[in-house]
Each structure stands twice: as structure tokens, then as C-alpha cells.
Amino acid sequence: MHLLTVLLEAILLEASVQAVDISAKKKSGGVAFIGDELNQTPFPEWLTDFTGMTQWPGLVPPYIPLDFIDMDKIPDYNSYSQGVCDANTRDACSFDCDQCLAHDDISTCRKLSQTFDDGPSPATLKLLDYLHHKSTFFTLGINSVNHPDIYHEIQDAGHLIGSHTWSHAYLPSLSNEDIIAQLEWSIWAMNATGNHIPKWFRPPYGGIDNRVRAISRQFGLQAVLWDHDTFDWSLVTNNPFKTEQEIYNDVALWKLVENRGLILEHDGARKTVDVAINILDLLGEDQLSVSECVGGIDYIREF
């Protein structure tokens, strides 16, 4: 089941990335958004000084070396494509391959709580109208700089914002340098857009192993996975895993049986936002943000 999820979501992302490459226009149903450049987060001077660049990168961000990253601390596991789970021994502790969690991974919560990945997107605004408790959004850097106004709405509503990488890469497939690039550019996007540096990080597709962790920890990031998956994203594919009603049945059961945990949802598309609003209706507002779940801080730094 899990392997299939990964493959299907990969196909979805692939389709969305291709559409973006070809049309270079906004795509509301996909993962990465090419925004209205006039409304982009301005590329800050400090980042030009640091990178020599004057514009935000595209879907493949360049690797900029950082003093504080010690490459010797990164274990030498093999990279692997999504769903190819025999590249390393089990001690690589892959979440998506083996459901392995490290001691510092967060995957649950004492209250059953929704979390939202892949925004900010135009669909996020509708969700914000309905959310009256503090919730958690894992944003893509590229979407954050392309939708700074929506990012600010999330922030102003008091929600917690974490990193979901720059452009939704499956990190275990990348070189160490490219993993660093995905993380550093997402952090710079959040810094430039929201004036804060994230503490919480959700790897796209749950793609994390001890090599990825050894890098993300050097940024001070802590990984947040999940223990309840709605498969909401599959509703916008040709082969949904579940009907909408089956998703609601799952949520009702989770609430009835255990009433604790972290639910994986998405605010990248109108459909998944509509589902999220119905799930919110089922669960009510007695939910926590990830930082509240673990009694942790919201951000490493706020400016």
C-alpha cells in the first residue's frame, strides 16, 4: 500500500512538474506553482551577497555551500528512487520504505490533529476561513515566494509554518549537495517571506532516511512525519485510493478508537481543501499544532 502511494504521488508530481515546465503558468491542482512574478517575495540583498544571485531559482535550486554543514557527518548510504527500497540495509532507517522512525522524529500527537502540506496555494485561503485553532502548514519554498500574500495570511492567522523543501523533491534520490539545496532555499524562502527560520520539517512523500536526517539536523530542523494518512491527494488523480466517503469513515474511526495522532492532508488543491474542511467538521477544533503536540518552539528564530 505504501509503495503504491509513493509511486502514485510521484506520477502526480511528475505530471504537475511537466505541466509547469511546458506552460510556465499557475497550476492550481499541482504541487509547485509558478507565480505572478510581480507579486513574488523580493529577492533580498543579504541573499544576493551570499549567493551571487538576484532571482529565486526554478524547480531545481542551485547548491550553495554553507560553512556550518559538515559533510563528514553525513553517513554514506546509497541514494534511491521512490519505491526502490532495497538500496540500503535497514539501519538507514527509511520512513517511507520501512516506517522507521529516528529518536527525534515526530510522528504523533496527544490530540488527533490535522496538518497541511504543499501550500501556500490559492486554495489555502478557503481553508484559513474555516480554521479557528492553531494548525500546522508545511510549505514549499517555491510556493512561498510565489504566493507571499497567502503565506502572510497563514502567518497572521497564528498558524505554525514548517518547511516542506524548496520544490517537493524526493530527498533520498538526491546527492548530499542537492538535499542541502532543497533545504537551504526553503529556509531562505521562509526567512525572506515570513521573517522566521523554521524548526519543523516534513520530507515530501515521507522520504527520509539517516542520510537525509544527518543533513536536516545540521540546519536545526526536526522531522515531522505522520501516523494517519488520508490519501486526500489521490482524489485528484485518475485512480483515487479511497472515495471521499471512505476518507471520512477513516477519520471518524481514528477519532472513535484512539483520538490521537497527526493526520497528513494537503492544501495544494481545492479538492483537498474541501475535504480538509469536512474533516475539520468531524474532528472539531480541539486540535494542536505540531509545536504544541511536543511542547516545542515554533521557530528557530523570528525576526
Residue type, 24: A
- How is residue 60 annotated by DSSP? S
Active-site residue, selected from the candidate residues 117, 209, 267, 298: 117
The answer to whether 233 touches 272, Cβ cutoff 8 Å, is yes
Residue 122: all three cell numbers together:
490559492
Residues 186-225 touching Zn ion, rule: CB under 5 A, are: 204
Stretch that binds Zn ion, among 116-124, 221-229, 237-245, 276-284 (CB under 5 A): 116-124
Least Å distance, CB 67 to Zn ion, is 30
Least Å distance, CB 117 to Zn ion, is 4
> What does the alpha-carbon distance between residue 42 and residue 267 come to, in Å, rounded to a whole number?
24
Number of residues this chain uses to bind Zn ion (CB under 5 A): 3
3-state secondary structure of 291: helix
Least Å distance, CB 268 to Zn ion, is 7
State which residue, 96 or 117, has the beta carbon closest to Zn ion: 117
State which residue, 16 or 222, has the beta carbon closest to Zn ion: 16
- With CB atoms as reference, the residue minimizing the distance to Zn ion is 117
> What does the alpha-carbon distance between residue 163 and residue 221 come to, in Å, rounded to a whole number?
9
Is 266 catalytic? The answer is yes
Stretch that binds Zn ion, among 18-26, 117-125, 193-201, 250-258 (CB under 5 A): 117-125
> With 0-12 CB in 10 A as exposed, 13-18 as middle and 19+ as buried, what is 176?
middle
> What does the alpha-carbon distance between residue 66 and residue 161 come to, in Å, rounded to a whole number?
23
Is 267 catalytic? The answer is no
Least Å distance, CB 213 to Zn ion, is 18
- Taken in order 183, 188, 189, 195, the sign of the CA dihedral is positive
Least Å distance, CB 28 to Zn ion, is 15
Least Å distance, CB 205 to Zn ion, is 7
State which residue, 74 or 267, has the beta carbon closest to Zn ion: 267
Stretch that binds Zn ion, among 54-62, 76-84, 110-118, 149-157 (CB under 5 A): 110-118
State which residue, 226 or 299, has the beta carbon closest to Zn ion: 226
> What does the alpha-carbon distance between residue 155 and residue 133 come to, in Å, rounded to a whole number?
13
3-state secondary structure of 113: strand
Place of cell 496538518: 115
Stretch that binds Zn ion, among 10-18, 92-100, 113-121, 272-280 (CB under 5 A): 113-121
State which residue, 122 or 204, has the beta carbon closest to Zn ion: 204
Other CB atoms within a 10 A radius of the CB of residue 166 amount to 28
The yes or no reply on residue 184 touching Zn ion (CB under 5 A) is no
The answer to whether 153 touches 200, Cβ cutoff 8 Å, is no
Active-site residue, selected from the candidate residues 133, 228, 266, 267: 266
Listed residue (303, 300, 291) closest to 110, CA to CA = 291
3-state secondary structure of 69: coil
CA angle 174-179-183, nearest 5°? 150
Which residue among 35, 94, 117, 214 contacts Zn ion (CB under 5 A)? 117
The yes or no reply on residue 118 touching Zn ion (CB under 5 A) is yes
State which residue, 198 or 204, has the beta carbon closest to Zn ion: 204
**Residues with catalytic roles:** 117, 266
Q: Which chain residues interact with Zn ion by CB under 5 A? A: 117-118, 204
